[in-house]
């Protein structure tokens, strides 16, 4: 049984930092493509970062480049999203997800949310201005 559990969300001031974690069980992190998505109220779910299962390249959505860092700890089967210089527009529910299809186009940021096989329940990030 696959289970993804996010943690680390909370309230942070503008310019502050948070580190999100996603603990995975039932699926190895070092084989598939993994992603962090976020969803703000009234908006669709968007991918902010992903690590490709083919070449381990990490991709970032333009608005978070230089501020967010996604890493994977294979020993602990956990992935992290270090978020620095947070802005009010970063406020959202953040989800981790795993893509298990064998079809792997380049740039995992282009994969639709519906194509991901398993999701965590999300963790809320709130940024005060």
Output the average pLDDT for the chain. 94
Higher pLDDT, 53 or 113: 113
pLDDT greater than 90 at residue 126: yes
CB of 87 closer than 8 Å to CB of 74: no
pLDDT tens-digit map of 42-92: 999 999 999 988 788 999 999 999 999 999 998 999 999 999 999 999 999
* Cα–Cα distance measured from residue 97 to residue 112, given in angstroms and rounded to the nearest whole number: 11
- Looking only at the bridges linking them, the beta strands covering 123-128 and 10-13 are parallel
* Cα–Cα distance measured from residue 62 to residue 18, given in angstroms and rounded to the nearest whole number: 19
Give me the residue label for tokens 């001031």.
13
pLDDT at 30: 78
For 110, list phi and psi in degrees, rounded to 5. -85, -10
């Amino acid at each position: 049984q696959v289970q993804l559990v996010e943690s680390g969300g909370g309230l942070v001031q503008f310019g502050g930092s948070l580190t999100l974690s996603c603990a995975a069980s039932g699926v190895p992190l070092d084989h598939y493509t993994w992603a962090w998505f976020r969803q703000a109220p009234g908006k669709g779910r968007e991918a902010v970062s992903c690590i490709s299962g083919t070449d381990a390249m990490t991709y970032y959505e333009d608005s978070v480049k230089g501020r967010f860092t996604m890493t994977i700890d294979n020993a602990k089967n956990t992935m992290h999203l270090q978020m620095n210089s947070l802005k009010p527009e970063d406020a959202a529910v953040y989800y981790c997800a795993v893509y298990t299809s064998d079809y792997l186009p380049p740039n995992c940021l282009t994969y639709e949310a519906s194509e991901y096989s398993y999701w965590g329940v999300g963790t809320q990030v709130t940024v005060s201005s």
